[in-house]
Amino acid sequence: MSSVLFVDTETNGLAKDFKKAPDASDNWPRIVEIAWLIQSPARVTLAEERHLIQPDGWEIGASEQIHGISPLMAATNGIPLHKALSKFFKESGTHNVHNKRPMRGGS
Protein backbone atom coordinates (compact mmCIF):
# COMPACT_ATOMS: atom_id res chain seq x y z
CA MET A 1 0.00 0.00 0.00
CA SER A 2 1.30 3.46 -0.87
CA SER A 3 1.18 6.68 1.08
CA VAL A 4 -2.00 8.75 1.01
CA LEU A 5 -2.23 12.40 0.01
CA PHE A 6 -4.95 14.57 1.56
CA VAL A 7 -5.53 18.00 0.00
CA ASP A 8 -7.80 20.80 1.19
CA THR A 9 -8.41 24.20 -0.37
CA GLU A 10 -10.35 27.30 0.54
CA THR A 11 -11.53 29.51 -2.32
CA ASN A 12 -13.10 32.89 -2.85
CA GLY A 13 -16.39 31.39 -4.00
CA LEU A 14 -17.88 28.98 -6.52
CA ALA A 15 -17.80 28.88 -10.30
CA LYS A 16 -20.31 31.18 -11.96
CA ASP A 17 -21.06 28.55 -14.62
CA PHE A 18 -19.84 24.97 -14.16
CA LYS A 19 -20.20 24.32 -17.91
CA LYS A 20 -17.57 26.89 -18.90
CA ALA A 21 -14.10 25.84 -20.03
CA PRO A 22 -11.28 25.69 -17.46
CA ASP A 23 -9.45 28.51 -19.25
CA ALA A 24 -12.34 30.95 -18.64
CA SER A 25 -10.42 32.34 -15.68
CA ASP A 26 -12.99 35.01 -14.75
CA ASN A 27 -15.53 32.20 -14.22
CA TRP A 28 -13.64 30.07 -11.72
CA PRO A 29 -12.86 30.77 -8.05
CA ARG A 30 -9.36 31.57 -6.83
CA ILE A 31 -7.50 29.54 -4.21
CA VAL A 32 -7.26 31.45 -0.93
CA GLU A 33 -5.54 28.64 1.00
CA ILE A 34 -4.08 25.23 0.17
CA ALA A 35 -3.12 22.57 2.71
CA TRP A 36 -1.91 19.01 2.38
CA LEU A 37 -0.96 16.03 4.45
CA ILE A 38 0.87 12.90 3.33
CA GLN A 39 0.59 9.79 5.50
CA SER A 40 2.23 6.41 5.34
CA PRO A 41 0.14 3.23 5.39
CA ALA A 42 0.88 3.10 9.15
CA ARG A 43 -0.70 6.59 9.47
CA VAL A 44 2.61 8.29 10.16
CA THR A 45 2.63 11.87 8.90
CA LEU A 46 5.34 12.20 6.26
CA ALA A 47 4.62 15.79 5.25
CA GLU A 48 2.18 18.52 6.21
CA GLU A 49 1.91 22.09 4.95
CA ARG A 50 -0.59 24.93 4.86
CA HIS A 51 -0.27 28.13 2.83
CA LEU A 52 -2.40 31.23 2.53
CA ILE A 53 -2.33 32.69 -0.98
CA GLN A 54 -1.64 36.37 -1.63
CA PRO A 55 -4.40 37.88 -3.76
CA ASP A 56 -3.08 38.94 -7.16
CA GLY A 57 -5.77 41.19 -8.59
CA TRP A 58 -8.72 39.22 -7.22
CA GLU A 59 -10.80 39.70 -4.07
CA ILE A 60 -11.67 37.30 -1.28
CA GLY A 61 -15.16 38.77 -0.98
CA ALA A 62 -18.03 37.25 0.98
CA SER A 63 -16.28 33.86 1.29
CA GLU A 64 -14.33 35.40 4.20
CA GLN A 65 -17.44 34.75 6.32
CA ILE A 66 -17.17 31.03 5.55
CA HIS A 67 -13.43 30.31 5.91
CA GLY A 68 -12.39 33.26 8.09
CA ILE A 69 -9.47 34.32 5.89
CA SER A 70 -9.47 38.10 5.57
CA PRO A 71 -7.87 40.06 2.73
CA LEU A 72 -5.37 41.47 5.25
CA MET A 73 -4.43 37.96 6.49
CA ALA A 74 -3.90 36.71 2.93
CA ALA A 75 -1.93 39.78 1.86
CA THR A 76 0.25 39.80 4.99
CA ASN A 77 0.80 36.09 5.62
CA GLY A 78 0.24 34.63 2.17
CA ILE A 79 2.63 33.59 -0.55
CA PRO A 80 2.17 33.74 -4.33
CA LEU A 81 0.09 30.88 -5.73
CA HIS A 82 2.89 29.64 -7.98
CA LYS A 83 5.18 29.22 -4.94
CA ALA A 84 2.53 27.29 -2.98
CA LEU A 85 1.79 25.01 -5.94
CA SER A 86 5.49 24.48 -6.57
CA LYS A 87 5.91 23.33 -2.95
CA PHE A 88 2.85 21.11 -3.26
CA PHE A 89 3.99 19.41 -6.47
CA LYS A 90 7.54 19.00 -5.19
CA GLU A 91 6.35 17.48 -1.90
CA SER A 92 3.72 15.18 -3.40
CA GLY A 93 6.05 14.14 -6.22
CA THR A 94 8.85 13.30 -3.80
CA HIS A 95 6.68 10.88 -1.87
CA ASN A 96 5.18 9.47 -5.05
CA VAL A 97 8.62 8.67 -6.49
CA HIS A 98 9.77 7.29 -3.16
CA ASN A 99 6.88 4.83 -3.06
CA LYS A 100 7.12 4.05 -6.79
CA ARG A 101 3.35 3.91 -7.00
CA PRO A 102 0.90 6.39 -8.50
CA MET A 103 -0.83 8.91 -6.27
CA ARG A 104 -4.60 8.59 -6.08
CA GLY A 105 -6.94 11.55 -6.29
CA GLY A 106 -10.20 11.93 -4.43
CA SER A 107 -13.42 13.59 -5.35
User: pTM, whole model, 2 decimals?
Assistant: 0.81
Question: Residue 51: which of 92, 80, 91, 93 has the closest Cα?
Answer: 80
The one-letter amino acid at 72 = L
Per-residue pLDDT tens for 28-67? 999 999 999 999 999 999 999 999 999 999 999 999 999 9
Measure the CA–CA gap between 95 and 78, rounded to whole angstroms: 25
Categorize the per-residue pLDDT at 98 as very low, low, confident or very high, splitting at 50, 70 and 90: very low
